[in-house]
Amino acid sequence: MAVTVESHATLGEAARALGSGATYLGGGTIVMRDLNAGLVQGRVVRSTDPALTQIRPMGDGIEIGAGVTMAAIAAHPDLGFLHPVVRAVGGPQVRNMATIGGNLFAAHPYGDLAGALLALGARVTIAGGMQRPVEDVLRDRARVGLVAAIQVPRPRDARAFGFRKVSRVKPKGVSLMSFAALLPREGGRLRGVRIACVGLGPAPLRSPAAERALEGGTLDAATIARAAQLVTDGLDPPTDALASAWYRREVAGVHLRRLLEGML
């Protein structure tokens, strides 16, 4: 079947066009591969709306247009807390094309930036203006619609946010798993902990057991060891060509512990 590409000047027009069963094209790192493999057919919709590539301060955070690339985030001085995350996505060619919006929809084993956004408690604006927590979007990806922008709260200080990616091939390999942790401290106690995992489920998700082990405590070796021991409780890691579910369960705690020790 022939593929037609429609370019729309506004997000609103693109969203209406998508409503009738087309595929949205962000940076294309996944869509173009699927198209070349014959997996995407029919209509492909893209938008040249300038709002898609804007990065602007907003309250305590920053709003990032869904079409902003990993390379643009890596070059932005106000987004230093995300630099280690986006620099871990693919190689330079991929980072020049891959968008933050596309990362929310990238299937396992992808989604490193989506995991970081989950830990940070980001909110997602859908074309038309509705806002949803990023965890809702990650749970319901097939029905979300066109993402316009992502609001990212800024961590209180550099020690409050950390990221760790585990891959077999360095530096450009896909994640065997990755972790992002938000550890806000109040009077020495951890309050509002969020631990996000990529590669331990069908989409980036939080580890409620690890969060419970850390919440209200102090960040010390004993608390970290408990969180590491519990991290996969209630999760159902997949088996794939990269690793078995058993292996993922065995090593997840080791890598979460290394991440948290780096945030002491």
What is the contact surface with ligand FAD in residues (CB under 6 A)? 23-31, 33, 66, 89-90, 94, 97-99, 101-103, 105-106, 110-113, 146-147, 174
- Give CA–CA dist 17/58, Å, rounded: 29
Closest listed residue to residue 161, CA positions, set 117, 103, 212, 203:
117
111 vs 155, beta carbon nearer ligand FAD: 111
Residue nearest to ligand FAD (CB): 102
CB of 49 to ligand FAD, least distance (A): 10
What is the closest distance, in whole angstroms, from the C-beta atom of residue 25 to ligand FAD in the complex? Answer: 5
Sign of CA dihedral 153, 155, 160, 165: positive
Of 191, 176, 184, 170, residue with least CA distance to 247: 176
C-beta closer to ligand FAD: residue 30 or 71: 30
**Min dist. Cβ of residue 156 to ligand FAD (A):** 26
Please check whether residue 3 is in contact with residue 41, taking contact to mean a CB–CB distance below 8 angstroms.
Answer: yes
Query: Which residue number, 53 or 223, has a Cβ lying nearer to ligand FAD?
Result: 53
CB 25 within 8 A of CB 146: no
Give CA 86 to chain center in angstroms.
Answer: 10
CB of 33 to ligand FAD, least distance (A): 6
Nearest to ligand FAD of 203, 213 (CB atom): 203
Task: Report residue 259 as tokens.
Answer: 């991440």
